[in-house]
């Protein structure tokens, strides 16, 4: 009888102590009786999910916590998103994340063009592909501001920049550099001509919403090749998430994806729907992975109160019910952890270690403390190679 495993990821939930929370972090200030139950019943510690010299993205962090060394497997963000959208890539194709952004006064003003709707964005991307696309360069429409560009027959060795980590920076400081960077710069410049004066922008202007100034190309790579989780750890898995990046990663390791209606990737997501889907999946799969984007989006907006609220909603409507459901299984373990910190002070990701809490079969702690960055650090339990956590979670 194999044990049942549940993993809950409040994306970007880790942070620093904040004055507005009396020097507590958002996790520590939030009401989290269920996360506290796990860290008290079981144990907690700190884990470094971002290896040295790597970008602190959700892709790198979640590759680690799923048991895969990013130093070995990581090829860029965009190839992972391409898998999520079933875009077929040859081994020589390059794929780029293509954001719709807002530029103001020559600076990066908004990485999401005001969280543009998928409908508006799709028609802009289709127009762009009509005007600038070819067999060699194909634009693929996605969700809200997140799209992809696939390039054939060209090789790249470029430095590019995640827009959400450079809000307020002058554009000329962020332009791509390196082999064939000029091709990317030219595409971005020509996209500005397509968008200037476009009907959709005129309506957005009237409504006082951020306009689409340009595409922004970053997160590039070639097709990733990863061993299936079932082969690596002997367990069949499923994942629940609203975000393409996580869907792509889950598919790359052979997890089934479970769609939940109303999962938005924001504070208004369908928490209860995610929990009941996870509980049902525990009957069919050995391991279930539930990812919730809301705390990260709140952090990128610099909104600590919204972040705290998202953490409370995840605790109440997902961690609690899933924990209860696991009690019905003979043998179980549960892991709750952010994938990386996203600091509300800087609105950007950080590479600092994150707290994790584990409970279940033969996992007993000594400290029995409430969940949070401070107590996790005090525990003295530390995993420096994040990809080793999965082995510990499954087999210790």
| Residue 112 DSSP class | T
- With CB atoms as reference, the residue minimizing the distance to Zn ion is 58
Minimal distance, residue 300 CB to Zn ion, in Å? 10
CA distances for 355 relative to 94, 291, 307, 358, 372, angstroms:
35, 16, 16, 10, 6
Cβ-based nearer residue to Zn ion, 14 or 184: 14
Residues 53-72 that bind Zn ion (CB under 5 A): 58
Q: How far is the CB of 341 from Zn ion (least distance, A)?
A: 9
- Cross-strand partners of 359: 334
Question: What are the CB-based long-range contacts (under 8 Å, 24+) for 372-379?
Answer: 372/24, 372/25, 372/27, 372/28, 373/14, 373/15, 373/25, 373/27, 373/28, 373/46, 374/17, 374/25, 374/28, 375/39, 375/44, 376/39, 376/44, 376/45, 376/46, 377/46, 379/43, 379/44, 379/45, 379/46
Report in angstroms the alpha-carbon separations of 222 from 173, 247, 280: 25, 17, 35
Q: State the minimum distance, in angstroms, from the CB of residue 133 to Zn ion.
A: 30
Q: How far is the CB of 97 from Zn ion (least distance, A)?
A: 14
The residue (of 102 and 342) whose beta carbon lies closer to Zn ion is 342
Nearer to Zn ion, 61 or 83 (CB): 61
Nearest CB to Zn ion, comparing residues 63 and 325:
63
The answer to the question of residue 49 lying near Zn ion (CB under 5 A) is: no
Site map 292..331 versus Zn ion, x via CB under 5 A: ----x-----------------------------------
The smaller minimum CB distance to Zn ion, of residues 12 and 355, is found at 12
Q: Does 244 bind Zn ion (CB under 5 A)?
A: no
Tell me the C-alpha to C-alpha distance, in Å, between residue 195 and each of 121, 125, 189, 191, 366: 11, 10, 10, 6, 59
339 touching Zn ion, by CB under 5 A: yes
In the complex, minimum distance from the CB of residue 50 to Zn ion, in angstroms, rounded to a whole number: 10
Binding segment toward Zn ion, per CB under 5 A, in 7-15, 165-173, 310-318, 322-330: 7-15
Residue 249 near residue 291, CB atoms below 8 Å = no
Give the shortest CB-62-to-Zn ion separation in angstroms.
7
CB of 44 or CB of 299, closer to Zn ion = 299
Contact 83, 251 (CB under 8 A): yes
Count of alpha carbons within 13 angstroms of residue 359, beta-carbon side:
22
Closest contact distance (angstroms) between CB of 343 and Zn ion is 12
In the complex with Zn ion, the residue whose CB is nearer, 125 or 240, is 240
* Number of residues that this document lists for the chain: 396
Longest pairwise C-alpha distance within the chain: 63
Residue of 167, 97, 111, 112 lying closest to 144 (CA atoms): 112
Q: For Zn ion, how many residues bind (rule: CB under 5 A)?
A: 5
Nearer to Zn ion, 11 or 110 (CB): 11
Check residue 11 for interaction with Zn ion (CB under 5 A).
Answer: yes
DSSP characters for 158-222? EE---GGG-TT-BHHHHS-EEETHHHHHHHHHHHHHHHTT-HHHHHHHHTTPPP--EEEEEEEE-
Mark residues 251-290: x for contact with Zn ion by CB under 5 A, - for none.
----------------------------------------
Q: How far is the CB of 295 from Zn ion (least distance, A)?
A: 9
Residues 195-234 that bind Zn ion (CB under 5 A): none
Identity of the residue, 12 or 45, whose beta carbon is nearer to Zn ion in the bound complex: 12
Stretch near Zn ion under the rule CB under 5 A, chosen from 6-14, 311-319, 358-366, 373-381: 6-14
Token code pair at residue 134: 């070819």
Say if residue 229 is exposed, middle or buried (CB neighbours under 10 Å; 0-12, 13-18, 19+).
buried
Q: How far is the CB of 38 from Zn ion (least distance, A)?
A: 20
Name the residues that contact Zn ion, by CB under 5 A.
11-12, 58, 296, 339
């Amino acid at each position: 009888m194999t044990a049942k495993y549940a993993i809950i990821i409040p994306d970007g939930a880790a942070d620093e102590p904040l004055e507005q929370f009396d020097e507590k972090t958002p996790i520590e200030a939030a009401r989290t009786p269920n996360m506290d139950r796990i860290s008290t019943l079981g144990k907690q510690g700190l884990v470094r999910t971002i290896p040295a010299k790597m970008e602190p993205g959700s892709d790198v962090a979640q590759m680690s916590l799923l048991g895969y060394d990013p130093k070995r497997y990581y090829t860029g963000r965009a190839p992972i998103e391409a898998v999520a959208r079933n875009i077929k890539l040859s081994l020589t194709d390059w794929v780029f994340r293509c954001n719709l952004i807002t530029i103001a006064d020559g600076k990066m003003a908004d990485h999401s063009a005001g969280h543009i709707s998928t409908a508006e964005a799709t028609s802009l991307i289709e127009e762009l592909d009509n005007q600038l696309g070819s067999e060699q360069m194909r634009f693929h429409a996605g969700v809200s501001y997140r799209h992809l560009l696939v390039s054939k027959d060209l090789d790249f060795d470029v430095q590019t920049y995640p827009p959400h980590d450079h809000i307020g920076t002058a554009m000329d400081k962020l332009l791509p550099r390196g082999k064939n960077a000029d091709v990317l710069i030219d595409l971005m410049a020509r996209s500005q001509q397509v968008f200037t004066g476009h009907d959709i922008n005129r309506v957005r202007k009237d409504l006082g919403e951020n306009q689409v100034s340009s595409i922004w190309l970053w997160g590039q790579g070639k097709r990733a090749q990863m061993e299936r989780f079932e082969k690596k750890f002997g367990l069949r898995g499923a994942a629940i998430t609203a975000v393409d990046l996580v869907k792509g990663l889950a598919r790359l390791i052979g997890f089934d994806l479970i769609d939940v209606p109303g999962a938005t990737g924001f504070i208004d997501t369908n928490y209860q729907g995610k929990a009941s889907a996870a509980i049902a999946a525990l009957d069919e799969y050995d391991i279930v992975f539930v990812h919730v984007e809301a705390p990260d989006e709140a952090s990128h907006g610099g909104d600590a109160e919204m972040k705290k609220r998202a953490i409370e909603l995840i605790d109440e409507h997902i961690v609690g019910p899933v924990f209860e459901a696991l009690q019905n299984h003979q043998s179980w373990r549960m892991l709750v952890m952010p994938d990386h910190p996203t600091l509300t002070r800087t609105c950007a990701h950080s590479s600092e270690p994150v707290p994790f809490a584990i409970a279940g079969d033969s996992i007993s702690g000594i400290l029995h403390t409430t969940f949070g960055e401070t107590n996790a650090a005090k525990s003295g339990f530390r995993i420096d190679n994040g990809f080793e956590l999965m082995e510990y979670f499954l087999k210790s």
